[in-house]
Structure 1
């Protein structure tokens, strides 16, 4: 059972101190925008978007000289401060004075930041039973994974995953009491291994890497608090800066026309460029975060992935367990035109892992056969998947699908009954098929 954080969420709802200037490089149309970067992050393309969004939200800032110091390790206290900001609890932290901390090294903690630790303890982001806090110690990847799992309120889910196998070559270096945290952090896309398949649990995390995992946590935090993601093409937009009202209509990659309210002071992101809502144009590819028919976040991107364009599916997770101990796991996610696909087949004879183009090709073949859509019944989806495999030998099936129109369907242990496919009242609220 997920424990939801009952806090606010920082959104890019104000232009802060930025002045709008310069064209959006990815479009043929000149638009006023601002590039959000630091003097020393201009060549960090892999993290530019993450750093920009965290700066705009005031979660991660640079120094007085305009430097971000992307390769510098993040300390534990700096990590706590960013997590508290992510939960929109900074004012609460600042308001606390004369804070007593339950650590032996409490005297080494600056009075200015004690309120942040107090809030973190109250929110159960850190363990109050630890002997020392070590505020200035570089935060390792293992420690940060635990912190962010708790920021999402997923500690109960992590506890239930303490015996799950970790797919990292250095998994034996991860202490048993952290296995659940690492598993959930990886499962929710917060943390991943490096290109060599290593998690590197004891390696300090850099500021650029921290910006990336904070940004991923922010996206997941929106979802944990009831938001859904909608992807498509803008067909109509109306923004009135005088009355502070606006609306946006998008044709999702499932083909639906959906209209939402847009706060006129909401910043629109394109990579590390930010612009006002009145700069949105008909024909833009757009990603929206929606809650109660109101847009919380907007991002533009050049082109949707071929898979999402052809199927209207933005995310798919499938696990099949057969009676002969063979297990098939498939993960796919389309994020602003970028596709990530992984497929694993484990059996008594060994493990086969498909990634990148080979995994994409296999997924495209499967989706062409299944032809999954939001309008299909649970039985139709289930039967289509089972027909691809030897269903007579199937022992367990788990599946989660997210469509471009915000709909989510989930099947667990789902082999025979009509109740195996879940689309309960909570999901209907969070992932309504039509959110007019």
Structure 2
């Protein structure tokens, strides 16, 4: 038996297990009985936990072949977007075909009713229309609806239904399903930053950029995108889940999260008409017969309508909404004050200091073509994080840990003013000057905040002769030596510090060295308009070196505007000794 991970579990009532199972199986039959030529009712499995809750297991017989995608596949199955095969498998590692991808996209858009209503005699103006009529007549209605909704590229003269769908083709399909064609077309002239950008067809560049921006697709750790790589059926489920978020947002749905304060169902309010359950949308989002109130992680009490039959996701398993209990942590998607999606969260994975933030994005231009980007998204406990700084990118656990620590330190809340939020974020990031900034925050009470600001007083480093490269070698009395080396190429910084005394030697590299040298450069405020003497005096003052004790000094500077400067100084010890001897001889006389 599996045990649910809850800190608090206070069931409202103990129902008879067999009674619940019987009711659940009836619902399962109603939900999945229509499924056609590839889904069988016996695929629906249940499991009763020790606390009396009945799990609906949205799994296929071969789900262990791609366990990473079990949650995505289960959710898309619960929404009746993906289906398995007659043998009970999903074949997650098998490439998704174009026709399968088209059918799934149409279902995700809630257009299955329209697809089924189309006459199979509809003529298609594709060069492979005869093949479709012969082998894919079951999908013809979906293809027609896809055409009517602009899911095909204008230059496509063949569907090639059996062809494996590539990453770039699926990205275009899903962006079109979100209705973002205009946004994609406006970015057609932008060159992607992927290392294999030359492999991306020019006519789909805009669609790829939008898909990346919306979080539907991403690149690989080596910086490539692999546009022509086939998408597996498991990967397709994940891409559909991400696209589903965009569709819900387009429809006006909002995300909220918190702990259940009260939940109640009244059987007399049930109005479900089984005969009307013929579309994906109707059969998944049932009429509400209950009320749920949660204490949001931002502190508010929020109440919504909810159906007792709504399937609530917990990882790759599900329970009915009427098995939720007071104290359960939940993530809800709400539209028109009604819960249309729900997930039971793992209480052990919730950090109260960051739970108030479901989404956090910052994009800044710092001048000299420097960019700084942060992205954080918490989707029912599944966190995605990314940091782009100085042309370097971090993802995964490292980025997640940094951003969660940052959010914890900032303690952002919806009641802060826009100026307070902006000041808090800039202070936490230690940013004093910026060219422009775009900040987006999504709170757990459903509120969203967007701040866009351009700094009119900003002057770029190129304008004031900022330092791009800096080298210094110095030696003074007591056999003390100092070497500094600094290079900043479009935000990619290399730095090295070496300090040597008579009895000790210390070396620093990386961030520590960069911070030390940048502090010196900040204090000196070097520019190409300064004289060599002014530069020398400024640097020696910042480094606390006495000019009278200096034996040797070499400075090389390259400014961001291209100006280069060299300064060399050497104290002749032999001349000093001769002068001292002359003085001694004069004293003797």
Which of 109, 113, 124 is the aligned partner of 1:87?
Answer: 109
**1:338 paired to 2:382:** yes
**1:408 paired to 2:448:** yes
**1:298 paired to 2:298:** no
Query: Aligned partners of 1:40 and 1:392: how far apart in 2?
Result: 54
What is residue 274 of structure 1 aligned with on the other side? Answer: 318
- Aligned residues of 2:66 and 2:93 also touching (Cα < 8 A): no
- Aligned residues of 1:268 and 1:274 also touching (Cα < 8 A): yes
- Aligned residues of 2:95 and 2:233 also touching (Cα < 8 A): yes
Query: Aligned partners of 1:308 and 1:191: how far apart in 2?
Result: 30
Q: Provide structure 1 residue ranges, at least 5 long, that are not aligned to the other structure.
A: 1-11, 418-436
What is residue 412 of structure 2 aligned with on the other side? Answer: 372
1:344-383 alignment runs, 5 A limit: 344-346=388-390, 351-383=391-423
Larger radius of gyration: 2
Q: Secondary structure at the match of 2:54?
A: coil
- Pair 356,136 (structure 1): closer, same or farther in 2 beyond 3 Å: closer
Q: Provide structure 2 residue ranges, at least 5 long, that are not aligned to the other structure.
A: 1-27, 34-40, 271-288, 458-589
Q: Which structure is higher in RCO with an 8 Å CA cutoff and minimum separation 6?
A: 1
Query: Aligned partners of 2:65 and 2:98: how far apart in 1?
Result: 27
- Aligned residues of 1:369 and 1:384 also touching (Cα < 8 A): no
1:185-196 alignment runs, 5 A limit: 185-196=211-222
Q: Secondary structure at the match of 1:125?
A: coil
CA deviation after TM superposition for structure 1 residue 22, in Å: 1.6
Query: How many equivalent pairs are there?
Result: 399
- Pair 251,79 (structure 1): closer, same or farther in 2 beyond 3 Å: same
What is residue 360 of structure 2 aligned with on the other side? Answer: 316
Query: Aligned partners of 1:74 and 1:231: how far apart in 2?
Result: 34
What is residue 32 of structure 1 aligned with on the other side? Answer: 54
- Aligned residues of 1:93 and 1:115 also touching (Cα < 8 A): yes
If the length of structure 1 is used for normalisation, what is the TM-score?
A: 0.85
Query: Aligned partners of 2:139 and 2:406: how far apart in 1?
Result: 52
Q: Secondary structure at the match of 2:291?
A: strand
Query: Aligned partners of 2:456 and 2:301: how far apart in 1?
Result: 35
Query: Aligned partners of 2:180 and 2:29: how far apart in 1?
Result: 27
Alignment root-mean-square deviation, CA = 2.5
Query: Aligned partners of 1:116 and 1:405: how far apart in 2?
Result: 37
Query: Aligned partners of 1:366 and 1:82: how far apart in 2?
Result: 38
**1:75 paired to 2:83:** no
1:138-217 alignment runs, 5 A limit: 138-217=164-243
Query: Aligned partners of 1:152 and 1:406: how far apart in 2?
Result: 21
Q: Secondary structure at the match of 1:214?
A: helix
CA deviation after TM superposition for structure 1 residue 246, in Å: 0.7
If the length of structure 2 is used for normalisation, what is the TM-score?
A: 0.64
Map Cα deviations across residues 339-387 of structure 1 (whole Å, 9 max, x no partner).
22211112xxxx2333344434443454355432111111111222233
